[in-house]
Amino acid sequence: MILSCPDRVGIVAAVSSFLAAEGGLITEANHYRDPESEWFFARQDIAANSLPYGAEELRRRFAPLAGELGLEWRVVETRVPKRVVIMVSRQAHCLADLLYRWRSGDLPCEVAAVLSNHDDLRSYVEWHGIPYHHLSVQQGDRDAHFAAVTALLAELAPDVVVLARYMQILPSFLCRAYAGRIINIHHSFLPAFAGARPYHQAAERGVKLIGATCHYVTEALDAGPIIDQDIARISHHDAVPDMVRKGKDIEKIVLARGLRFHLEDRVLIHGNKTVVFE
């Protein structure tokens, strides 16, 4: 159960009392109050076998209390894996890492398909038994490409779309249609070095740290709510190829971590920020 609302006294007590009265066993509880907005956030794991009914009945019974408290809320069944569509271009390091984690059971999801604007990674993806869709981008005709992408996503009905180094800027209508459901990995420690060629930008600036950022995609380029970030130290010895090599390791870790947080419903979006219950 995930919820948020303007903070006030008694929210935790009211929700906990309701669950206790229904026989619900809380196995994990996370709470946070944002001091600036005075907004309250909570995530609670409830053992499904502790309730005498299913998730839909829980939603029905909880709705009156949620309305009384003014909650924004949802009940998620963790036993139902989320459908993931991965979008890539030519670089395979993030895709390969995600598929390895998926095959090994580390990422609790269903990989419905991989979409790409190139055909380079078809054999690798199909070896995993995953459908591969090549939707090319003809020069000067991005509209046709994204019309095809939109139609295919509608058919695949993903819960989340992952841009695993998909080197295309999504159109605004697609960002709006999947708001809060498109995750991107950007190869810099945002907001530093947004846009193209961030490793080159970092080299020109002479920074001593490089990083990667997993964030939700919005209409503003590389400016959506941040889910996770990490960094690596570099020195004057590191040229751009060294930064790229070191950065790839960070990108893989940050994207996998951010996606896992999303799959486990540990990320609550509030404006252009996130609350992440790790």
Written as one string, the DSSP assignment of 159-213 is SEEEESS--SPPPHHHHHHTTT-EEEEESS-TTTT-SS-HHHHHHHHT-SEEEEE
The answer to whether 97 is a known catalytic residue is: no
Cα(first)–Cα(last) distance of the chain, in Å? 15
Q: Give the single-character DSSP code of 224.
A: S
**Tokens encoding 3:** 């919820």
The whole-angstrom separation of Cα 89 and Cα 179 is 22
Q: Which residue in 47, 65, 69, 269 sits closest to 178, CA to CA?
A: 269
Q: Name the percent of the chain in helix, strand, coil, to the closest 5.
A: 35, 25, 35
Beta strands across the sheet bearing 109-116: 132-134, 109-116, 82-88, 160-163, 182-186, 209-216, 226-233
Q: Identify the active-site residue in 222, 230, 242, 265.
A: 222
**Tokens encoding 38:** 């005075």
The whole-angstrom separation of Cα 121 and Cα 104 is 20
Catalytic center residues? 222
